[in-house]
Amino acid sequence: MIYTQQLKQLLNELGLAKGRNCLLFVILDKSPNELIAHIESNGFKVNEIYLKGELNLLEILTGWRETVESSIYFVSGIYNQFPWVLGYLNLHRDLFYDIKRPVIIVGSEYEISEIAKLAPDFFRFRSRTYDLTKKRMREKEENFIMSLAKPEPVYYSLPIFEEEKGEEKLKERIKVDEYLLGTVRDDYKRAELYMSLAISHFKLDNFKKGKEYFEKSNAIRDKLSDDRGVLINYKRIADVLLWKGRFEEATEHYNQVLKLNPNLAEAYFNRGFAYDNLNQYERAIEDYNMAIEFNPDVAGAYYNRGLAYAKKGEFDRSIEDYNRAIDFNPESADAYYNRGVAHYEKGEFDRSIEDYNRAIEFNPESAGAYYNRGLAYAKKGEFDRSIEDYNRAIEFNPESADAYYNRGLAYAKKGEFDRSIEDFDKAIEFNPEYAAAYNNCGNAYYEKGNFDRAIEDYNKAIELNHEYAAAYYNRGNAYGEKGEFDRAIEDYNKTIELNPESAATWFNKGVALGELERYEETIECYDKAIELNPTDEDAWFAKCRSLEKLGHKDEAEHCFQKAKELGYEAS
């Protein structure tokens, strides 16, 4: 056999996969002995498996723990077990997750194509397929010198099982499994078929039927003392429940998994994710801790634990975890993004912006990163830069009500009220129940002197949120500008009911009462405003004027002097 580029890549991949789970297919048109010799000469221990009769491949592979780390499994003769072996491997594909040795399945071009056609889920489980036929070798030899300028990279990744997503495919799978149940007598195969049916029914939301099949599969495995099979059953159902968003039930099944194997990092990780979605952040953190204890190299556990700490408001601890996640994956846009959020929540806007910059570097189309960086610039008073970022956020997510809303706020801060109104209108178009957008649209009309339009928007904001204190306050101000002081006072009273600590509301209520010459009541309001904000020179001066109206000159003089001390300058 000529030392081809394909063979070189195969040997490189075996080196990367040493001691890990990796499924490879190799197309051969001659005896595999020369290939085995090449593999062994590169330091690998080859365990040959020639399939024939009732020899069970998976039973042999489960003995991988008794092999040295440099071992690989070399499987040939799969054609001898066609066609039943294809359905069997397709159903048992998940077991390959646990075999921490590379597995090479060799066969002719026809055999490998039959596997791809009749065991598609199992075939998708592979890392790569290598073609070492003579035709392939001649092609590579002819092109080898030319291809030196752009060598083919070798990528190694763990196999990812692709689930069927379409309803019709699942129903088709159920028909096949039900047919196979009538043809097989082997208990292990029947248990796996019941499990396949259980998963399909769970995915179709037929949980009652799915549970029946799940229990049938477990009953067979219990009879066979197949504890490992029971564990896998619970984990597979737990994973499906997690995928379906049935988090409470998922945690119950992961509990069973961990009873059977309390050292399974993945189960702790997934149960933590379920607890996180149930807003049980302490329990989620405990599970992420355990996942990290059993597998300290899981970047996702640090990242998810960081999210859980952030949801608890513990931003320093969340930042520590994002740091660890970034150590493992320095190009993780999500980790930079969420670390930026944590710095933002701590008021560290410059550091937040730095992290959003990195997130955008690794994901230039992240609408969220542009949007959040815009928020940080707005906090720094850099409204032009914030508007630029909101523009980019809208470019990547044209229906983002929040991006339009915050761009509207930035325009309002710049005094560009017409543009802010346009943006608030767009925010409302994409989110008709956006009470804050109505409120701030009202504020923009207020600033333009259009108090009637402002009141219409405040009305809508209050209709959407009956406890929106700011909207009542703003509507009170608009009524005050129109000279409708009784209505203004009603709104200030409602604001105070919802937010009794608002010094500004007490002050404005005092002003409205003063316009109605109800001076005793105005003094009560100004006293409350001063109690809440003792350094408010305007409140001291307003109280002075009310005392003068009531003829309390000495007290009025005292209040006037206090206002001057605080910086009030009489016009």
Average pLDDT of the segment spanning 246-266: 95
Residue 201 has phi, psi (to 5 degrees) of -70, -40
Between these two residues, 29 and 71, which has the higher pLDDT value?
71
**How many Å from the N-terminal Cα to the C-terminal Cα in the chain?**
100
Are residues 542 and 550 in contact, defined by beta-carbon separation less than 8 angstroms?
no
Are residues 276 and 264 in contact, defined by beta-carbon separation less than 8 angstroms?
no
Between these two residues, 16 and 312, which has the higher pLDDT value?
312
Res 356: pLDDT: 97
Res 7: pLDDT: 80
Between these two residues, 169 and 564, which has the higher pLDDT value?
564
159 pLDDT above the threshold of 90: no
Helices (H), 182-328: 187-203, 207-223, 227-243, 247-260, 265-277, 281-294, 299-311, 315-328
150 pLDDT above the threshold of 50: no
Q: Please name which of 511, 333, 517 lies closest in space to residue 526, comparing C-alpha atoms.
A: 511
Say which residues have a Cβ less than 8 Å from residue 222's Cβ, sequence separation at least 6: 230
Question: Measured between alpha carbons, how far is 321 from 338 in angstroms, rounded to an integer?
Answer: 11
Q: What percent of the chain has pLDDT over 90?
A: 65
pLDDT band for position 139 (cuts 50, 70, 90): very low
pTM of the model: 0.69
Between these two residues, 92 and 421, which has the higher pLDDT value?
421
Average pLDDT of the segment spanning 20-35: 85
Strand partners, 24: 104, 128
Mean pLDDT over each residue of the chain, to the nearest integer: 88
Average pLDDT of the segment spanning 60-78: 88
Res 18: pLDDT: 81
Q: What percent of the chain has pLDDT over 70?
A: 93
Question: Measured between alpha carbons, how far is 378 from 505 in angstroms, rounded to an integer?
Answer: 26
The least confident of 94-103, 236-245, 539-548 is 94-103
Res 441: pLDDT: 98
Question: Measured between alpha carbons, how far is 134 from 187 in angstroms, rounded to an integer?
Answer: 43
Ordered DSSP codes for 289-334:
HHHHHH-TT-HHHHHHHHHHHHHTT-HHHHHHHHHHHHHH-TT-HH
539 pLDDT above the threshold of 60: yes
Domains for the chain: give ranges and CATH numbers: 5-147 (3.40.50.300), 425-500 (1.25.40.10), 507-571 (1.25.40.10)
Between these two residues, 187 and 402, which has the higher pLDDT value?
402
Res 428: pLDDT: 98
Res 8: pLDDT: 78
pLDDT band for position 212 (cuts 50, 70, 90): very high
Between these two residues, 106 and 126, which has the higher pLDDT value?
106
Structure tokens at 385: 């830069």
Res 160: pLDDT: 28
Res 165: pLDDT: 56
60 pLDDT above the threshold of 50: yes
pLDDT tens digits, 103-119: 999 988 878 888 887 77
530 class by beta-carbon count within 10 Å (0-12 exposed, 13-18 middle, 19+ buried): buried
pLDDT tens digits, 414-446: 999 999 999 999 999 999 999 999 999 999 999
Res 341: pLDDT: 96
Between these two residues, 51 and 437, which has the higher pLDDT value?
437
152 pLDDT above the threshold of 60: no
Average pLDDT of the segment spanning 525-538: 96
Res 524: pLDDT: 97
566 pLDDT above the threshold of 80: yes
Res 528: pLDDT: 97
Q: Which residues of 339-361 are buried (b: 16+ CB within 10 A; e: fewer)?
A: bbbbbbeeebbebbbbbbebbbe
72 pLDDT above the threshold of 60: yes
Say which residues have a Cβ less than 8 Å from residue 65's Cβ, sequence separation at least 6: none
Average pLDDT of the segment spanning 466-472: 97
pLDDT band for position 4 (cuts 50, 70, 90): low
Which of 140-144, 197-201, 330-334, 406-410 has the highest mean predicted lDDT (pLDDT)? 406-410
The least confident of 80-84, 173-177, 301-305 is 80-84
